[in-house]
Amino acid sequence: MIKYKFFFLICLAFVQASLQNVVASTACISNVEQFTDSSVLYSRRPVSFKSGGHTLKGQLVVPKQVKSKVPAIVFCVGSSSSSTMAHYASFTAALLEQSLPMDSIAILYFDKRGVGESEGRWYTTDFEGRAADAKAAADYLLTLPFIDSDRIAIVGHSQGGWITQVCLSNYPDTFVGGISLAGPTFNVREQVQNDYASMLMCQEQLAEDAARQKALKMVNRDFFLASLLPVKENWKQLKVIKDFTPTSYLRSVNRPLLLVFGEHDALVSPKHAVAALHDLFPQGVPSNIQHVTIQGANHSFKMSDFCHKGTTKTLPYAEACRSAIRHWIRLHLFN
């Protein structure tokens, strides 16, 4: 009797293991077709590469089993010293890793100069320098035998969106296309004015025109102080980038570019961003440049009111943003 019971338990274990394999296989199929997340499909590797005499440190998310060459994404973070890979972990997990076929694509994250373990100083690096760093990240990917050199895209958020625009203009032979997430289509002065105007509209209940007029005075003050006596790191960075405008870069972009804005973005007004885009192309925006505004989304593409107060940690990311990214990636990296 004991022998039969033992034999029965072995058979049961075998059946359960087989069922688990079927479930795992089904999950893999689902991941490819629906672009849902399954972390068992990929691993994370520390990476380092040289750019401008500095060693930059990052992380490569890569499929565990690579049967053929895969496309890749270089991701660029936003502004200031707080924009790190760690700071962006939930953002990139929600909008990229949990939305893309991670058994069939690689993503390279890296900390910009002087942030995390990367060498250099972020606040003395202009946007051309940041774009060169992203190019160096792509060059590193080209040394890996499992990366498809013809399918490397760039994705950036906030200031990283500006960097995406610069990269597609400067390095069209490297990047097949890119996505600018909450990246302005106007200059730095206008972006800072956006930021102040939103604050005044929410805190002082000013109408938009009045808020923008008052904000302009605050911008002029900040730019004067940053030029005269840049004591803080943020002011040192402002002195370096204050004259930047994306106009010439956007006009020369020939690769596919998706500009994604949030309806309730307090830092980058979608209304002014779209207006600037149409001013830039009065005969019509080129077909390779597309833009979409995500309803109800803030600067981080979380569902939020324009004047939201308190923490945003528990707010959900906008599914429409995930969908827009997923569709663009499928169209330009998997066709």
Distance CA 174, CA 152 (A): 7
User: Position of tokens 């923490």?
Assistant: 311
Q: Which residues of the chain have pLDDT under 50?
A: 1-37
Same domain, 176 and 254: yes
Residue 321 maps to which CATH number?
Answer: 3.40.50.1820
Same structural domain, 46 and 68: yes
- Provide the pLDDT for residue 3: 36
- Which amino acid is located at 109 in the chain? Y
Output DSSP code: residue 109. Answer: E
Are 146 and 30 contained in the same domain?
no
Quote the tokens at residue 168.
């597609």
For residue 105, being part of any structural domain is answered with: yes
Same domain, 323 and 273: yes
**CB contact burial 90-107 (16+ within 10 A = b; e otherwise):** ebbebbbbbbbbbbbbbb
**CA 261, chain centre distance (Å):** 12
State the Cα torsion 62-65-70-72 to the nearest 10°.
Answer: -10
Same domain for 23 and 57, yes or no, is no
Whether residue 93 sits in one domain with residue 52: yes
Question: Do 44 and 27 belong to one domain?
Answer: no
State which amino acid sits at residue 80. S
Does any domain span residue 204?
no
Residues 290/295/296/299 CA torsion (nearest 10 deg):
0
Report the number of distinct structural domains present in the chain: 2
Q: Which residue from 83, 242, 259, 244 is spatially nearest to 168, judged by alpha carbons? A: 259
Residues in CB range of 311: below 8 A, 6 or more apart: none
What is the C-alpha separation between 5 and 277, in angstroms, rounded? 74
One domain, residues 44 and 168 = yes
> Within this chain, do residues 19 and 112 fall inside the same structural domain, yes or no?
no
Domain span at residue 98?
37-187+244-333
Pairing of the two strands 177-181 and 147-157: parallel
Asked whether residue 55 is assigned to any structural domain, the reply reads yes
CB 301, CB 321: distance < 8 Å: yes
| Residue 176 sits in the same domain as residue 306 | yes
| Residues 7 and 122 grouped into a single domain | no
DSSP H/E element including 108: strand 106-110
Answer yes or no: do 297 and 150 share one domain.
yes
